[in-house]
Structure 1
Amino acid sequence: MNTTAEHQPLQPEFRLLVLLVSIGFFMQGLDSSIVNTALPAMAKDLNENPLEMHSVIVAYVLAMAACIPLSGWLADRFGARNTYFMAIVIFTLASLGCGMSTSVNELLVYRVIQGIGGALLLPVGRLAMLKIIPRSQFLAAMSLMSLAGLIGPMIGPTLGGWIVEVTTWHWIFLINIPMGILGVFMTIKAMPNITEPTVRLFDFKGFILLIIGMIGLSLGVENFSDPRYSYWSCILLIVIGIGSSLLYALHAHTHENALFRSRLFTNKIYAIGILGNFFARLGGNSMPFILPLMLQVAFGFSPLVTGILMIPTIIGSLISKPIIRPIIQKFGYRNVLLINTLLVGICIASFAFSTAEVPIWLRTIHFLIFGILNSIQFVAMNTLTLKDLPQQDASSGNSFLSMIMMLSMSIGVALAGTLVNIFEDHFGAAQVTTAFHATLICLGLINIITALIFWNIPKETKD
């Protein structure tokens, strides 16, 4: 087959659609990262402890994880345009609610609603592109869209830091409103309302079991350090979460209409990839939360300086992109993931040696190395997980992976916040730096232990 025919440049009639989906991806990516550097300022304004503000991130990410399984069915049932339109409206109105919040509880409610809108933006937008844009131009379209997804997290921490210094934290949410209004009008113009002629019944029972499982696990971990909840109530939540997940596994095995059929996990590589993704991301995904908090609360850096210091991690991620595939082709998935998982764990733990006096150049190199290693980890895990799935399971397998990625981020941030609070109680408020250092060592050890999962990858597994 002719390669030039397979990968053609994007034609003008599809550019507006790609721009629209890129706006949604950008908004989602920006909102996942812009809050991290603003948490201490938000805590001060709302009279809260900055070490207990991780629920603001957890609420958003957990809502996204819970609603990802719903996205494809809604698009098929009500049409891509209607669903995407609804997603942007929900996201934009929730952003307005976040920006006008006067208490943490009010903010959490709107963050959950914002997460529901965010969960639909990328999957539905990607699905619309898949159905409308010819396959020969799809690679070009995805490349442009992915660029928008990189820009959001890249500018998020610095933009968040700058906003809270020149104005108030409310504007980190209010800046979504003009983009949301633009997206609403573009959706009407650029996206056809493609529906599927036959849509299977939605698996509400499985959906509820998954939601209970995710909420139970996340809240159980998050509430451990909250004096309002007893240890037994937290353990009960975790047990309910695990029990609901096991019930879903039984449901997936016996129910024809299950969101994610159990046959997905008969694929050994996929099962290893999912398990590895979940545990390896606990540390890696919590770093954009824990590092800005440490820089501000423990070291006394300003929000803007903190945001600027986070840029090397994103640059490291970009630098690593061209080298990942050649590395995997040369050494194989097993060797790359075994060694890199250990290196990421060591790198996370090594932040425990960081102090306010560390020279900027050394801190920059440290963050850059972490960005490179973490990017290699995520890309290698994702490609390993999906590479051997048969065509009929590709969509379902990808959705489940996306859900696990969000769930791991939710639990990872909750775990990091909980550990900092537990260690602060243990060492005393005057030893907050020690509390952060102990937390980073624990998160690094989790990553190191995760290497045992990747030990099970067959040695001959290649790209």
Structure 2
Amino acid sequence: MSSQANYPPGHTRNPTVPAERTPSATWIALLVAVTFFMENLDATVISTALPQIAEQFGKAPVDLNIGISAYLLAVAIFIPLSGWVADRFGTRRVFSLAISLFTLASLWCGLSHSLESFVAARVLQGIGGAMMVPVGRLAVLRTTEKKDLVKMIAVITWPGLVAPILGPPLGGLIVTHASWPWIFYVNLPLGLIALAWALWMVPKGTAENTRPFDSLGFLLLAGACAALMLGLEWLGGSEHLGTGIALLLGGAVLAVLAIRHCRRHPTPLLPLGPVSIDTFRVSIFGGSLFRVAISALPFLLPLLFQVGFGFSPVYAGTLVLAVFAGNLAMKPFTTAIMRRFGFRQVLLVNGLIGVASIAACALFSADTPWPMVALVLFIGGLSRSMQFTCYNSIGFADVPKDRMSEASTLFSMFFQLGMGVGVAAAALLVRLSMSVQHHAAHAQPSDFRVAFIGIAVLGLIALVDAVKLPSQAGAQVLQR
């Protein structure tokens, strides 16, 4: 993108004023936050409505996780394409088209009468979502000073943290007082507002020199993501066990080939250069594994409360709001805590608290007093918010300005892929437990306990990367 791609037509940047404080950058950041909220809300808002949707489609509730996974998979596959498409056709045009596609796909979701049609609409939604956020995030990152990086990333990413928690109670209210299609119809007015905002505020941003499209890289990356996600989906069912294993192996092979290709290609679709930066690598690998654990909770908790305990959708969604309360309560203290103790210590100590809160969910029963449930989820929300901001901030702490485009594309792909794998892994653990314990018809509370313990173990493994960080890692973005 050109250097003026981040400013509206006619705007002149004052070199003495930090870029993120100009009206254009601030408003673009808020617009990106709105689209990020829409994208992540739709990733989880259906979790509370899964039993109702499954009943209409004649499927088991746990089988409807493909509607979540397909959406997140499509986002992960098409994110690497977003940077090239924006450079080729212009930021405003791609961003506006993505919002339009997302909004129309939401309408299709609500009109679906079969699982196949529903999944196809969710894939189309995911493609639109993949084009919305990365381009906007890059525009903000390029105009932000290192010392203000934490603040601006919080503006962009906090809606993505809040949306998965607001999704279940919002979905519960909608399916209780209306019907499940309205979960998607609420996107129509939001999409129209965002589209008008984008056409007015976002500059064209056409690049002067467009790099050639790396078609082989796209095919390898898309094939690896699709095979790995589908392999996790099918591994949980005994009738598809062989196919699931074959897909996982095939996905691993394609991933290795994709990495080799991206390292050797002169203009790869997914540049891997930023991975050599220690702080970015921790955010990508350890951070993605922890996001797997984080993203599994908004899927598991509503199903545990409804399918396992028999609670109503509204009551289940209200309990999950305790996580949101924890997210909200932590926000005013996040930056101060990171400045006081540093990234490494916060990631390790806070990560252990988060892992313990996930494991504690395995102790829930239908008779557990609701204040105890709310307290555990509130503590988990506190930890979740802190860890999320830490990983997102340290990821760009040491990335030079001229490599922000590469880092943003790579980060966005791993971010969404981690969320998709989290949902798929949670469903896989539930299905495996059902198979071992011979719960053929419906998942029991014991099946969800297995899933919570498994997800907590993944979160614990994620902290190994943080142990290797030096104590002063990312210190420059924590300076006042």
- Which residue in the other structure is 2:64 paired with? 53
Match of 2:455, as an amino acid? L
Q: 1:207 aligns with which of 193, 197, 218?
A: 218
Q: Secondary structure at the match of 1:215?
A: helix
Asked whether 1:435 is paired with 2:447, we answer: yes
Distance 1:307 1:14 in 2: 35
What is the Cα deviation at residue 16 of structure 1?
A: 7.2
Alignment of 1:30-429 (within 5 A): 30-127=41-138, 152-153=163-164, 155-229=166-240, 231-429=241-439
Q: Are residues 245 and 28 of structure 1, via their aligned partners in 2, closer, same or farther at CA, if it must alter by over 3 Å?
A: same
What is the Cα deviation at residue 41 of structure 1?
A: 1.5
Q: Which moved more, 1:14-23 or 1:114-123?
A: 14-23
Q: Which moved more, 1:383-392 or 1:22-31?
A: 22-31
Q: Are residues 130 and 419 of structure 1, via their aligned partners in 2, closer, same or farther at CA, if it must alter by over 3 Å?
A: closer
What is the Cα deviation at residue 312 of structure 1?
A: 1.6
Q: Are residues 161 and 4 of structure 1, via their aligned partners in 2, closer, same or farther at CA, if it must alter by over 3 Å?
A: farther
Match of 1:211, as an amino acid? A
What is the Cα deviation at residue 95 of structure 1?
A: 0.8
Q: Which moved more, 1:318-327 or 1:128-137?
A: 128-137
Contact kept, 8 Å, 2:282 with 2:395, in 1: the verdict is yes
Please, what TM-score do these two structures have when normalized by structure 2?
0.87
Distance 1:131 1:376 in 2: 24
Q: Secondary structure at the match of 1:53?
A: helix
Contact kept, 8 Å, 1:81 with 1:192, in 2: the verdict is yes
Q: Secondary structure at the match of 2:78?
A: helix
What is the Cα deviation at residue 404 of structure 1?
A: 0.7
Match of 2:210, as an amino acid? V
- Which residue in the other structure is 2:6 paired with? none
What is the Cα deviation at residue 195 of structure 1?
A: 1.0
Q: Deviations over 1:97-150 (max 9, x none)?
A: 110111111111110000000111122334566789999999998776667656
Q: Deviations over 1:354-381 (max 9, x none)?
A: 0111112111111110011112222222
Q: Deviations over 1:256-303 (max 9, x none)?
A: 101333432222332233210122222111111011110110011111
Unaligned runs of 5+ in 1: none
Q: Deviations over 1:374-426 (max 9, x none)?
A: 12222222222221222222221122112111111111111110110111122
Match of 1:281, as an amino acid? R
Q: Are residues 357 and 3 of structure 1, via their aligned partners in 2, closer, same or farther at CA, if it must alter by over 3 Å?
A: farther
Match of 2:378, as an amino acid? L
Q: How many residues align?
A: 460
What is the Cα deviation at residue 62 of structure 1?
A: 0.8
Match of 2:339, as an amino acid? Q
Distance 1:441 1:113 in 2: 33
Distance 1:135 1:243 in 2: 38
Asked whether 1:447 is paired with 2:453, we answer: no
Contact kept, 8 Å, 1:80 with 1:128, in 2: the verdict is no
Q: Deviations over 1:4-44 (max 9, x none)?
A: 94378664x88876665454233223212311211122112
Q: Are residues 325 and 19 of structure 1, via their aligned partners in 2, closer, same or farther at CA, if it must alter by over 3 Å?
A: closer
Match of 1:304, as an amino acid? V
Q: Deviations over 1:183-233 (max 9, x none)?
A: 33444444342311211112221121111111111111111113441x222
What is the Cα deviation at residue 352 of structure 1?
A: 0.7
Distance 1:459 1:141 in 2: 24
Q: Secondary structure at the match of 1:200?
A: coil
Distance 2:388 2:25 in 1: 30
What is the Cα deviation at residue 177 of structure 1?
A: 1.7
Q: Secondary structure at the match of 1:285?
A: helix
Q: Are residues 262 and 185 of structure 1, via their aligned partners in 2, closer, same or farther at CA, if it must alter by over 3 Å?
A: closer
Q: Are residues 331 and 9 of structure 1, via their aligned partners in 2, closer, same or farther at CA, if it must alter by over 3 Å?
A: closer
Distance 1:272 1:189 in 2: 37
Match of 2:49, as an amino acid? A
Contact kept, 8 Å, 1:285 with 1:413, in 2: the verdict is yes
What is the Cα deviation at residue 439 of structure 1?
A: 1.2
Match of 2:305, as an amino acid? L
Unaligned runs of 5+ in 2: 1-13, 476-480
Q: Are residues 381 and 186 of structure 1, via their aligned partners in 2, closer, same or farther at CA, if it must alter by over 3 Å?
A: closer
Distance 1:385 1:142 in 2: 11
Q: Which moved more, 1:145-154 or 1:403-412?
A: 145-154
Distance 1:27 1:8 in 2: 23
Contact kept, 8 Å, 2:98 with 2:132, in 1: the verdict is yes
Q: Deviations over 1:79-101 (max 9, x none)?
A: 12211121112111111111011
Please, what TM-score do these two structures have when normalized by structure 1?
0.90
Match of 1:116, as an amino acid? I
Contact kept, 8 Å, 1:224 with 1:418, in 2: the verdict is yes
Contact kept, 8 Å, 1:95 with 1:177, in 2: the verdict is yes
Match of 1:301, as an amino acid? F
- Please provide the CA RMSD for this pair: 3.0
Q: Are residues 346 and 254 of structure 1, via their aligned partners in 2, closer, same or farther at CA, if it must alter by over 3 Å?
A: same
Identity, % of aligned positions: 34
Q: Deviations over 1:162-185 (max 9, x none)?
A: 110112111101121222233334
Contact kept, 8 Å, 2:134 with 2:408, in 1: the verdict is no
